[in-house]
Structure 1
Amino acid sequence: MVLPQNNMEKQKQILKRKDIPENFKWKLEKMYESDELWENDIVDVRKSVEEMLKYVGKLGDCAENLFGALHLNDEISQKIENVYVYARMRKDEDNTVTKYQAMSDKAQGLAVEVQSNLSFMVPEIISISEQKIRRFLKENENLRLYTFYLEELLRQKEHILSKEEEQILAQMGELAAAPKNVFGMINNADIKFPSIMDENDEAVEVTKGRYIKFLESSDRRVRQDAFKALYSAYEKQKNTIASTLNYSVKKDVFYAKVRKYESALQASLDGDDIPLSVYDNLIETVEENLDAMYRYMKLRKKALGVDELHMYDLYKPIVKEIELEIPYEEAKKQVKEGLKPLGKNYIEILEKGFNEGWIDVYENEGKTSGAYSFGTYSSPPYVMLNHQDTAHDMFTLAHEMGHSLHSYYSHKYQPYVYGGYTIFVAEVASTVNEALLMEHLLKTTQDKNKKMYLMNHYLEQFRGTVYRQTMFAKFEKIIHEKLENGEALTPENLSEIYVDLNKLYYGPDVVIDDEIKMEWARIPHFYNAFYVYKYATGYSAAISLSQKILKEGDVAVEKYLNFLKGGGSDYPINLLKGAGVDMTTTDPIHHALKVFKKLVDEMEKMLS
């Protein structure tokens, strides 16, 4: 069975996993050829943990012991990652399959168990004097691989607890993950959305995967119906979801307090050695430039020809009579063309990902919503999509492949200990891909209406990634501060905070519909505290880097690829400086917002 290219437009009932053709599924057997081999690794991990426990109390005896423990820890961590990621991705294929729910739970339980057993390491290492550690580094050549890792421990020494306390925290890991896991099951498996009548007066079930496509519809009634249908489902779950978010924030505040941080925000940023000023500067700079967003909303209202601009009108392309359907094969072709400025080697790896089972393409019953790049040090950097043949989905493909190629380069050029990159830089590579693709499309598109459509999409990237994610960041800051000040989080005050922020960020020309008060309830990123601001800072950095790549050519490309190869071998601020942008200043944010203002100017002229 081969799906037609515009299958997801025509398919009214979501397919079961078994009915999706194999060439549109990722090949997880590259991680484990069978579930039995997965079980074998669990046994191996437990054996290695027993071996590791022989080092307890002996890390400071000699350089050889310290290296041996660190090396064995890496081996254990690699296997745990394989065990966890494989089970998680199998579950994400279809959240209703109880076997993979159980495997995912088992993998998470194993990770907590191992973390608890190995929690002696960090406290024991920091109990070794700095002078002795530096002597060990001189004595043992192999240990020098861990120089940056050990420097990081010394930097964070005041926030690392005793061996016994760290063990207790490690044992709490599974409980601490409960709010996120409960929300995930509600959001991906249990919540059900009503059906609506589509443009052809056919009943179609609303899904998270189809939602944006409905909001892009030229039929305003479809947009409104989809909007109301989606949020009606969350309204019914508001008390439960408010409770999960409340306890997720309490978990963040608890960990910050016990680790002697002044706030949950400081605790979150300290891992990347990011100054608090970077977070605050982002919010302040964006809020100083809301006039451009207000102008864009006024422009959108005029272009759509509506008396009132509602929240369900924000995704409708403002260029009339454009049906820009981009089947998956065409999306791959355009992404490849757009990324050619990154050089031959980059394109070869991109094609490898397209052709060798990295990508899970289409939505199916029970599949986790959205898109991500995921994998391990030894596996392909897989990509999950829920492709719907829209321009949005084409850019999503470019975005997620940016993550995956960043992982590919990092894993190839860095040892395991530095093979991962921090979340602060994670959105840079993905957004560089989107920016380069957009520049390619604007340059090669001759049709005026299609070009305006793309410009509108570019404006939407700014709205969604800089303005909207900054609004999310402000929401996170407010709700964490409320709990830190002893206030409660209820469905009512969460909704009130969220509505007020929408009013501030969208301005006087947008009707803030009552349903939007529940949007906070469907954002999974809020369960990964202070993550979303990195979309905005990453986007700002990416705009600067993409312009350098296009203007400076090979020199800029080499610096950029070195950044991708750097993994986690240095602090993210330093890695980005090496690539050519300084995120300790507001310059990249101002630069991005200037591009946004210029696009608004151009669209105003084209639509006048």
Structure 2
Amino acid sequence: MDGHQRAAGADGSVMQLMHSVYSLGLVRARGYWRIWAFGALLMTLAACSPDPEPVAGIPADRAPGRWDLTAIYADEAAYEADARRLAEDQTRFADSCAGQMTQARRLADCLAQYAGLMERVSRLAGYAQLRYDEDTTNTEALARKQQAEALQAAVEETTSFLEPEILDLGVDRIRSMMRSNDILSGAYRRFLDERLRLAAHTLPAAEERLLAMTAALGETPANIYVALTNADMPWPTITLHDGRTLRLDQTGYQRGRQFADRGDRERVFQAFWNAFSGYEQTLGVALYGQLQRDRMLARARRYDSSLAASLDRDGIPLAVYETLIEEAEKGLPTLHRYLRLRARLMGVEQLKAYDLYAPVTQASPQFTLGEAEQAVVAATAPLGADYVQALTHGLNMSWMDSESRPGKRSGAYMMGSIYGVHPYVMMHFNGDFDSMSTLAHEWGHAMHSHLANRHQNFLNAQYAIFLAEVASTVNERLLIDHLLEQAGSDDERLFILNEALESLRGTFFRQAMFAAFERDVHGRLANGEALTGADFSRLYLALVRRYLGHDEGVVDIAPAYGIEWAYIPHFYYNFYVYQYATSIAAANLLADQVNTGERAAQQRYLALLRAGGADNPYRLLKDAGVDLATPAPYRSLIRRMDRLLDEMEAIVARRGL
């Protein structure tokens, strides 16, 4: 896994699809609770989370700073020298290995060379990306990034013979070679097992070349979508209740949907979704083209469906996807319970779609970076002294660029693919609760990569998307638990409880709803239906109304909201978003287990992190105590949501609201 964007699921901001060293996700929207006791609440929230005693080694007054990239390359000259050597070494690799891997020892040697090339490519590309992200206005850094991307493409092309030639040896011969060679059956067992597992879906060389030639063509639907929604769509400008104006592009919408004034939010929703509705037909053509592309590739590789092809990339059972949706829909009464409480707290009879991201308080606790780091370290204590020590070390050793400055890349991510060095974290720490949660999230990723890189070889250290969000979400859950333990007043607890509930709403239920939509539209295409933009809107509207309780009077969803499918770029990722929902379910159960204090549970979790990608990701999670093909993890998550609601409702009852 090359990088992780700070994510709690697809929330709809239009971003470029998968590129370079990033696995893209989106920042979740958060709701905030209204002022209960005016000035008193502002004071109590400000003190709600860090321990009063500082964590050893982390100063409470630490300010945001920059990372140190000299651990990768001492200077630019060292980078350039390595790039030149790699360009030469890739040619030598092809000369020495192409057509010469018929003996076990020779195959092991060529796999070692291949892994070395891939490790060095990751280092070069990672360094260039990190340098560029420090200042995206730096033209030299941009040129270096482009050079690294070109070299990466050249290495991939040069080494493209490897897998077809291995498969040409035949399953029986490869198994025999693995039995006779400890390196093949050890360090490269996972790599070879995966090639053999997918052999039935690997085509003859000529057909593989033909599919490769169509790869750029297959990106056309997504490229049209990105160009239309980023560059060509005219965005409306609205006038707010106080006379100010707001341009409703993607950023403006995300800001406007959180306005305190309900009339402003309604104007935001009407104007924004009307803008999308004007392009419903064109956006429908783009999405239908994407579905056709996915269906074609699945059929070409002899899969029964696009969903089966997508899941099989990482060996994920179909039961995981089906069970997720089934259990999420069984849990809808709990979601509706939360939404009714939200309406009660906002003082409205019934929620509208434009109330779902509304603030319920203008207050948010503020922290120094050092205080936030102390809280995250303290929260991860259930993971053991070694984990805490490694986390503290990373926080103290300039692994993170946390300051905001002009030109710096927006968002937050972790890059863990620079093997043999350490992970790097980028974020913009601004002192609010979301920054603290982002800190916990990204360092969950960082510790996953740190432990995997320490205990696995380069190829085995790279873990699947299916696992990627688990470690980060475990840390978020542990942070919430820690803050609730430290909270000293009802005001503090209400704030934290809401954060937890909003996370469950947005990361579990919303992503499961998206997964259901994807399954539905792909299935309709497979059954021969032609789908237009109007069809997508009709199907999406029915689904969102079911999830948000429209017919039960929970949330009134206007017909105009049916176009929201066109706002979700993840529908071009081919069954990606379900993994956000499965990850939060897995993380919840794993956190429950380590919170018991049982050493066995702690060690199972740490073993999961250390394993990286050394085995099937579904099996690794199952060994850690979570079987996502069964109802248990999802039902555990719903029970936690009910417990959080019990406490919140008790506080509200004490206040007579």
TM range (shorter): 0.7 to 0.9
Paired residue for 2:548?
A: 506
Asked which structure has the greater RCO (Cα within 8 Å, sep 6+), the reply is 2
Instruction: State the partner residue of 2:307.
Output: 265
Paired position in structure 1 for 2:8 = none
Per-residue deviation, residues 371-427 of structure 1 (Å, max 9, x unmatched): 332241425323333555443332222112111111111111100110111111111
1:462 is matched with 504
Partner of 2:414: 373
Return the TM-score normalized by structure 1.
0.85
Q: Distance in 1 between matches of 2:535 and 2:350?
A: 27
Query: CA 1:572–1:112 in 2, change beyond 3 Å: closer, same or farther?
Result: same
Could you tell me whether the CA contact under 8 Å between 1:210 and 1:388 is conserved in 2?
Answer: no
2:478 matched to which residue of 1?
Answer: 436
* CA 1:209–1:358: 2 relative to 1, 3 Å: farther
Counterpart in the other structure of 2:604: 559
Give the alignment of 1:278-317 within 5 angstroms.
Answer: 278-316=320-358
Selected match of 1:493 from 528, 532, 535: 535
Counterpart among 475, 478, 481 of residue 523 in structure 2 = 481
User: Quick check: 1:580 aligned with 2:622?
Assistant: no
1:118 equivalenced with 2:159 (yes/no): yes
Tell me if the contact between 1:113 and 1:171 (Cα under 8 Å) persists in the aligned partners.
Answer: no
> Is contact 2:471–2:587 with CA below 8 Å preserved after alignment?
yes
What is the correspondence of 1:492-571 to structure 2 with a 5 Å cutoff? Answer: 492-508=534-550, 509-513=554-558, 516-571=561-616
Alpha-carbon distance change, 381 to 235 in structure 1, aligned in 2, over 3 angstroms: farther
Deviations 1:129-184 (A, max 9, x none): 33332332243333332122222222221011122333444455455456556666
Of the structure 1 ranges 246-255 and 90-99, higher mean CA displacement relative to structure 2 is found in: 90-99
Q: 1:359 to 1:461 in 2, by over 3 A?
A: same
Counterpart of 2:601, as a letter, is A
Query: Aligned residue for 1:354?
Result: 395
1:68 is the counterpart of 2:109: yes
State how far apart, in whole Å, the 1-side matches of 2:77 and 2:239 are: 46
Residue identity matched to 2:497: M
| Larger CA deviation: 365-374 vs 417-426 | 365-374
Residue 392 of structure 1 pairs with residue 441 of structure 2: no
Distance in 1, Cα, partners of 2:527 & 2:588: 37
Q: 2:642 aligns with which of 581, 597, 605?
A: 597
TM-score normalised by the chain length of structure 2: 0.79
CA contact (8 A) 1:124 1:163 kept: no
Does structure 2 retain, via aligned residues, the 8 Å contact 1:499–1:516? yes
Check conservation: 1:59, 1:124, Cα contact below 8 A: no
Q: Does 1:158 align with 2:200?
A: yes
Closer/same/farther in 2, CA of residues 171 and 345 from structure 1, 3 Å limit: farther
| In 2: Cα distance, 1:323 partner to 1:466 partner | 24
1:88 Cα deviation from its structure 2 partner: 4.5
- CA distance 1:36–1:285, shift in 2 (3 Å): same
Is residue 170 of structure 2 the alignment partner of residue 129 of structure 1? Answer: yes
Choose 151-160 or 200-209, whichever is displaced more.
200-209
CA contact (8 A) 1:377 1:419 kept: no
| 1:318-348 CA distance string (max 9 Å, x none) | 5x57443445444333222212222232223
1:19 aligns with none
Q: Which of residues 421, 425, 429 in structure 1 aligns to 2:467?
A: 425
CA apart distance, 1:314: 1.8
Q: Does 1:334 align with 2:379?
A: no
Amino acid at match of 1:335: V
Q: 1:553 to 1:101 in 2, by over 3 A?
A: same
Distance 2:69 2:617 in 1: 30
Distance 2:537 2:78 in 1: 47
Q: Distance in 1 between matches of 2:498 and 2:201?
A: 46
Q: Is the 8 A contact 1:410 1:566 kept in 2?
A: yes
> For structure 1, which segment, 555-564 or 487-496, has the greater mean C-alpha deviation from structure 2 after superposition?
487-496
Equivalent residues in 2 for 1:88-103, closer than 5 Å: 88-89=129-130
Q: Distance in 1 between matches of 2:195 and 2:329?
A: 36
Q: 1:321 to 1:361 in 2, by over 3 A?
A: closer
- Partner Cα separation in structure 2 for residue 219 and residue 339 of structure 1: 38
User: What is the distance in 2 between the residues matched to 1:324 and 1:360?
Assistant: 22
Structure-2 change in CA distance of 1:342 and 1:515 (3 Å)? farther
What is the distance in 1 between the residues matched to 2:180 and 2:262? 71
Task: Tell me the equivalent position of 2:7.
Answer: none
| Cα distance, 1:71–1:334 mapped onto 2, change above 3 Å | same
Distance in 2 between residues matched to 1:265 and 1:367, nearest whole Å: 37
The SS at the match of 2:596 is: helix
Preserved contact between residue 406 and residue 564 of structure 1 (Cα < 8 Å): yes
Question: Residue 168 and residue 98 in structure 1: after superposition, are their counterparts in 2 closer, same or farther (change >3 A)?
Answer: farther
Structure with more of its chain in helix, by fraction: 1
Instruction: Give % identity.
Output: 36
Deviations 1:259-308 (A, max 9, x none): 11111111111122111111011111111221111122112112211134
Q: 1:173 to 1:344 in 2, by over 3 A?
A: farther
The answer to whether 1:452 aligns with 2:497 is no
Stretch of structure 1 that moved more, 53-62 or 298-307: 53-62
Give the 3-state SS of the residue equivalent to 1:552 in structure 2.
coil
Deviation at 1:222, TM superposition (A): 5.2
SS of corresponding position for 1:306? coil
Alpha-carbon distance between aligned partners in 2 of 1:605 and 1:559, rounded to the nearest angstrom: 36
Amino acid at match of 1:72: Q
User: Would the aligned equivalents of 2:64 and 2:369 in 1 still touch at CA under 8 Å?
Assistant: no
How far apart, in 2, do the equivalents of 1:253 and 1:416 lie? 33
What secondary structure, in the 3-state scheme, does the structure 2 residue paired with 1:79 have? helix
CA distance in structure 2 between the partners assigned to 1:417 and 1:437 by the alignment: 32
Matched, 1:344 2:385: yes
- Cα RMSD for the two superposed structures: 3.6
Distance 1:227 1:28 in 2: 43
Q: Secondary structure at the match of 1:529?
A: coil
**Does the 8 A contact of 1:274 with 1:573 survive in 2?**
yes
CA deviation after TM superposition for structure 1 residue 189, in Å: 8.0
For 1:356 and 1:181, locate their aligned partners in 2 and report how far apart those are by CA, in whole Å: 40
* CA distance in structure 2 between the partners assigned to 1:30 and 1:376 by the alignment: 14
Cα drift, residue 484 of structure 1:
3.4
Between stretches 534-543 and 373-382, larger displacement belongs to 373-382
2 CA distance for matches of 1:227 and 1:326? 33
Question: Which deviates more, 104-113 or 587-596?
Answer: 104-113
How far the C-alpha of 1:354 sits from its partner, in A, is 3.0
Cα separation, partners in 2 of 1:471 and 1:528, compared to 1, 3 Å: same
Bigger shift: residues 46-55 or 362-371 = 362-371
How far off its partner does 1:553 sit? Answer: 3.7
Supply the distance in 1 between the matched residues of 2:316 and 2:286 (Cα, whole angstroms). 28
CA displacement 1:560-600 (0-9 Å, x = unmatched): 11110001111112211222222231111111111112222
The CA distance in 1 between the partners of 2:143 and 2:276, in whole Å, is 26
Once residues 281 and 534 of structure 1 are traced to their aligned partners in structure 2, the CA distance between those partners, rounded to angstroms, is 13
Distance 1:103 1:49, change over 3 A: same
- Give 1:24 deviation, angstroms: 3.9
Asked if structure 1 preserves the Cα contact closer than 8 Å seen for 2:104 and 2:178, the reply is yes
